[in-house]
């Protein structure tokens, strides 16, 4: 019964992803249109959902510990990845980058909210913040250095604080601290603004699922490297996610099971989808390796995510 209930929560995501696949097959949507939908999610619908979620959050010191822990874990796995090329027989310099970091923006928030609700999305956001810091300040500069040399740190800082997701999180927290959440909610006209943001934020999950389905396709080439890469990711990250959820969040910090579900959701996500954007000097084999790894990891995430609500049933 628990498994059927969990499956019923995840099944709509699968069906929407299947819709995206069908839309590509029948060519009802173009690549350009889907790219515009992706921009709409990143710049409008997801920030709206995050702003509302964090506008309900009171800042707690234990959240900072979660952020730091996630950042350090991502950095340590990146360092570990530098020594795994030889045992895995993968010569690509991109391997370490594919073993760490997570695609929360274009996947994690959508599948988490579909099961645990928009009202709990801030819990996933707190887990995500540590890996976002890692991606911006460690992973992306490292990839840029591989292809174009070191970039000014100032440019990285500016880029981070111009990101819509970060602006939405910071804005939502400030909105709460200034007492504006209660003020806006208490008046019909101002509450309509919040309701508009709820409607816009609610578009995130269906749009993301369709975009993911549209983009699910393997490039010609061997799947040996991607299979090994995804397997190592899961072997490293799933034990960490379970330990973080049960031991640290549950037993030590006393956080509720939805927080624990957020930790496990994070660690089964695919690598960041931005990785191919910073591979301008890579050869065709490296590009196919990365794209196939991202596609395979996305499929694995969708299957693995059915386990999360079984372990942590939504209320």
Inter-helix orientation angle 284-304/2-25, to 10°: 140
Looking at residue 262, its pLDDT comes to: 96
CB-based contact 246:262 (threshold 8 Å): no
For tokens 């969040």, the residue is: 249
Which DSSP letter does residue 270 get?
P
The pLDDT of residue 277 is above 80: no
Using only C-alpha atoms, the chain has a radius of gyration, in whole angstroms, of 19
Separation of alpha carbons 46 and 125, rounded Å: 11
CA gap 102, 96 in Å, rounded: 13
Helices 121-134, 109-116: axis angle to 10 degrees equals: 160
Of 171, 173, 289, give the one whose Cα is nearest residue 230: 289
Residues of 211-222 as b/e, b for ≥16 C-beta within 10 angstroms? bbbbbbeeeeee
* pLDDT recorded at residue 281: 58
Confidence tier at 284 by pLDDT (50, 70, 90):
low
Tokens in use for 68? 């730091």
Q: Is the pLDDT of residue 117 over 70?
A: yes
What is the pLDDT averaged over residues 281-290?
Answer: 73
At residue 236, the pLDDT reads 96
Does 1.10.3470 match the CATH number of domain 2-310? Answer: no
Q: What is the torsional sign of CA 138, 140, 141, 145?
A: positive
Half-sphere exposure in the Cβ direction for 127 (13 Å, CA):
30
- CA atoms within 13 Å, Cβ hemisphere of 56: 14
pLDDT tens digit string along 21-65?
Answer: 999 999 999 999 999 998 999 899 999 999 998 998 887 889 999
pLDDT in tens, 176-221: 999 999 999 998 999 999 999 999 999 998 999 899 899 888 776 6
Pair 315, 261: CB distance under 8 Å: no
Q: Cα(71)–Cα(113) distance, rounded to whole angstroms? A: 23
């Amino acid at each position: 019964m628990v498994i059927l209930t969990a499956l019923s929560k995840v099944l709509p995501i699968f069906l929407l992803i299947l819709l995206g696949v069908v839309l590509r097959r029948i060519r009802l949507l173009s690549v350009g249109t889907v790219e515009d939908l992706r921009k709409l999610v990143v710049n409008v619908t997801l920030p709206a959902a995050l702003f509302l979620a964090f506008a309900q959050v009171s800042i707690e010191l234990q959240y900072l510990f979660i952020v730091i822990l996630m950042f350090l874990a991502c950095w340590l796995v990146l360092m570990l990845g530098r020594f795994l090329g030889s045992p895995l027989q993968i010569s690509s310099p991109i391997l370490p980058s594919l073993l760490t970091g997570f695609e929360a923006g274009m996947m994690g928030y959508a599948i988490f909210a579909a099961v645990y609700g928009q009202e709990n999305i801030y819990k996933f956001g707190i887990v995500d913040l540590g890996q976002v810091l890692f991606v911006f300040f460690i992973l992306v500069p490292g990839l840029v250095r591989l292809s174009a040399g070191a970039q000014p740190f100032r440019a990285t800082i500016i880029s981070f604080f111009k990101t819509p997701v970060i602006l939405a999180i910071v804005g939502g927290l400030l909105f709460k601290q200034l007492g504006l959440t209660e003020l806006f909610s208490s008046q019909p006209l101002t509450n309509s603004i919040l309701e508009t943001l709820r409607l816009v934020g609610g578009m995130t999950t269906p749009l993301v699922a369709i975009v993911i389905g549209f983009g699910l396709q393997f490039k010609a080439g061997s799947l040996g490297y991607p299979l090994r890469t995804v397997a190592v990711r899961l072997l490293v990250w799933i034990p960490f996610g379970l330990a973080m959820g049960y031991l640290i969040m549950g037993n030590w910090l006393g956080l509720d099971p939805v927080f624990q579900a957020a930790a496990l959701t994070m660690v089964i996500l695919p690598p960041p989808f931005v990785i191919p954007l910073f591979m301008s000097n890579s050869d065709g084999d490296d590009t196919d390796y990365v794209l196939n790894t991202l596609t395979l990891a996305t499929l694995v995430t969708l299957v693995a995510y059915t386990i999360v609500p079984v372990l942590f049933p939504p209320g």
